[in-house]
Amino acid sequence: MLFFTDRIQFISISFSLAVFAFIFWLVKNKKVKEEYSLLWFATALAFLYMSLDRYAVDRLGNLFGIAYKPTIILLMISGFLTLVLIHITVVITRLANQNKALIQGMGLANLKQKLAKAATSGARKNSSVLVIVPAYNEEQAIAKVIGELKALQPPPDVLVINDGSLDRTGRAAKQTEQALVVDLPDNLGIGGAVQTGFKFATAAGYDFAVQFDGDGQHIATEIPKLLKALTEDDTDIVIGSRFLEKHSGFQSTFTRRIGIKVFRVVNSLLIRQTITDNTSGFRAYNRRSIVFLAKHYPVDYPEPEAVILLGKNGFRMVEVPTEMRERQTGGSSIFGIYSVYYMIKVLLAILMTAIRKPLR
């Protein structure tokens, strides 16, 4: 007590040292990673400094011209909480990416084991084209979708990504005995499911891949259009567009068409290429783009964000006019006030993708 002016200062210093020692113990014993401990070490040192110098708050107030000194304490607490929230967000994002990779790996590993035991023709690679069909709760539509795809001549290989469905989507797809099925143990969303397909196509050596919805909205007989453009136009990605030509097919709802027009303007400004149907999930890819997207496919808002990502990284994209049907089962997850929220999120994601450095 000889070195301290009062008991409060002694308690404050003791507490700061105890916090510092506790964090040190956690890091030493691998309870906390070093990179995650930096914020807490800095906080403990700041507490210790303010405990040793009882006039630190006054000095900071004078430095920043703040007359009411307790405001400094409030600002420091607010700043600390902000940093903590940012730190937690970074950790959660990292864990989400690791979780996605783990779920994809489990699904692909299970399929690989089944292929090693299977003897059916559907278990072998029979084509240079793989149709990737992401499906979530599409039990009623998936068998018909597979049948239409396999009716093409020549028939492509079909890979259904059962994205943690709560119904019997996976079983219905397997019962056709015409498609490979990856059963993801949890729902990853459209981006994670399609990326799983790209990873499979990369490992299996497919030359071309086609992204095709599992709800019956896309028309299988339109696929040759995409593949023809992909092989004849010296391009990397072909997008099936509902808006290049007028036709009697389904062209989405009024509000979604407004959003699509907004994406068209924004993407045209960012990559200097006009894509009329940025949200179309009907696309064909060559080997070069398959390998790239197996590593970098966007997870949250894949279709419009992928246009920017591919454009920024030197891939050539073209559109061909295609017709589509209204979804045969289920409903869109984007409706009502959530549509506005979705637009804001997607525009932010597009902007961030546009200002990042190319990945190649």
Given a cut of 50, whether residue 1 has pLDDT beyond it is no
Query: What's the confidence (pLDDT) of residue 201?
Result: 97
pLDDT digits (tens, 9 = 90+) for 199-236: 999 999 999 999 999 999 999 999 999 999 999 878 99
Query: To the nearest whole percent, how much of the chain has pLDDT over 90?
Result: 44
What does the DSSP assignment read for 198-253?
HHHHHHHT-SEEEE--TTS-B-GGGHHHHHHHHHHTT-SEEEEESSSS--SS----
- Contact between 27 and 34 under an 8 Å Cβ cutoff? The reply is yes
Delimit the domains of the chain by residue range.
7-95, 127-355
Confidence of residue 300 (pLDDT cuts 50, 70, 90): confident
Confidence of residue 122 (pLDDT cuts 50, 70, 90): low
| Mean pLDDT calculated for residue range 318-335 | 74
Confidence of residue 120 (pLDDT cuts 50, 70, 90): low
Rounded CA-CA distance 229/7 in Å is 80
Closest-CA residue to 271 (of 174, 351, 156): 351
| Mean pLDDT calculated for residue range 342-350 | 82
Angle between helix 287-296 and helix 189-204 axes, rounded to 10 deg: 130
CATH superfamily label, 127-355: Spore Coat Polysaccharide Biosynthesis Protein SpsA; Chain A (3.90.550.10)
Given a cut of 90, whether residue 262 has pLDDT beyond it is no
| Mean pLDDT calculated for residue range 143-152 | 96
- Which of residues 225 and 273 earns the better pLDDT score? 225
Of the listed ranges 16-20, 56-60, 67-71, 209-213, the one predicted with least confidence:
67-71
- Which of residues 115 and 59 earns the better pLDDT score? 115
How many CB atoms within 10 Å of residue 104?
22
Rounded alpha-carbon distances, angstroms, from residue 223 to 139, 184, 195, 284 = 23, 26, 20, 8
Given a cut of 80, whether residue 263 has pLDDT beyond it is no
- Contact between 130 and 159 under an 8 Å Cβ cutoff? The reply is yes
Query: What's the confidence (pLDDT) of residue 130?
Result: 98
Rounded CA-CA distance 210/197 in Å is 10
